[in-house]
Amino acid sequence: MRVMETKNYQELSALAADLIGAQLLLKPRCVLGLATGSTPIGAYQRLVEGYRAGRLDFSQVRTVNLDEYCGLSGEHPQSYRYFMEQHLFSQVNILRENTHLPNGAAPDPEEESRRYEALVESMGGVDLQLLGIGRNGHIGFNEPGDSFPPVVHPVELTESTILANSRLFDRVEDVPTKAVTMGIGTILKARKILLLAGADKRAILEEALTGKVTPWVPASVLQLHGDVTVITCREG
C-alpha cells in the first residue's frame, strides 16, 4: 500500500487526477470505477481541466460507479447519476452508453444488484477503482457489520450515513433509506484502488490502514489488496 500525503485538498485533487489521467493514457479503453461524495469533486474538476486542455481523452473510457440510492431516478438532482453527469460526464467526451451506475429506479433492488454485478464482470473487471471513506469506515455503502459482503447488493443505510448525507437534501426525511452498492468482494476485484481521504477523515483512515482487518471497519479490508494507493492531506 502506498500512502501519499499532500498539504491540502487542492493538491490531493491534483495528484488524484494525475493518477487517473495516467491510467487513461496507459489504457484508453480502461474501466474506471467511480465514486460520488464531496471528496472526489476536486479530482473530477482537474480531469475536466485536463480534457479541456487537450491532455485527456475519454472517448473510449468505460465507467462503473460504486453505488446509487434506491428510489431516485437518474434525473433526480440527488441521485448519483445526476452527480456524475454534473461533475464529469457532461463536461468531457465520454459516451453515455459507456457510463454505468446501478439503476436506482429499478423495481427490484435484488435483481438490479445481480444485473450490476454481472455487468462489471462482463466488462472485464475494473482497472482503477476510486474510493472515498465514510466516517464510520464504510466504502461504497458497505456499512460496518459482521461480514464483508461479497457482491453487489441492496443495503439499508445506517442512521449516521443518512444524517451525513442529509446535508445535500432539503430535509433528512427526503434521504433515501436504501441503496444498491458494490460489495467488498466486487471492490477488491479491481486491479488497482485509489482511496482519497480529506483531512477530516484522518482518524478513521489511520484505524483502517493500521488497525485490525475487520468488517466493523469495512475499509480495513484494503490492507489485503495488492495495489492500493491512498492520498490524504494535512489540512482542508
The residue sitting closest to ligand F6R, measured at its beta carbon, is: 132
Of 136, 200, 207, 225, which is the active-site residue? 136
| Strand locations in 49-91 (E) | 62-65, 67-69
Give the residue from 8, 6, 40 showing the smallest Cα distance to 236.
8
**The three grid cell numbers given for residue 182, joined into one nine-digit string:** 458494490
Phi, psi of 63 (to 5 degrees): -130, 145
CB of 16 to ligand F6R, least distance (A): 12
Strand-pairing partners, residue 178, are 156
**Catalytic member of 112, 117, 127, 143:** 143
C-beta closer to ligand F6R: residue 57 or 168? 168
From 67, 68, 112, 127, active-site residue: 67
Instruction: Report the nearest approach of ligand F6R to the CB of residue 53 (Å).
Output: 26
In this complex, which beta carbon is closest to ligand F6R, that of residue 160 or of residue 223? 160
**For binding to ligand F6R (CB under 6 A), which residues are involved?**
35-39, 66-67, 132-134, 138-141
Active-site residue flag, 138: yes
98 is catalytic: no
31 close to 123: Cβ distance less than 8 angstroms? yes
CA 236 – CA 234 distance, rounded (Å) = 7
CA distance between the termini of the chain? 23
Which amino acid does the sequence have at 220? S
Burial of 65 (0-12, 13-18, 19+ CB in 10 A): buried
- The distance of closest approach from Cβ of residue 197 to ligand F6R in the complex, given in angstroms and rounded to an integer, is 8
Catalytic residue among 138, 142, 153, 165, which?
138
Smaller CB distance to ligand F6R: residue 28 or 236? 236
- CB-nearer residue toward ligand F6R: 38 or 73: 38
Closest distance between ligand F6R and the C-beta of residue 69, in Å? 10
How many angstroms separate the CA atoms of 114 and 76, rounded? Answer: 23
Catalytic residue at 49?
no
Whether 93 is a known active-site residue: answer no
What residues are labeled active site?
67, 136, 138, 143
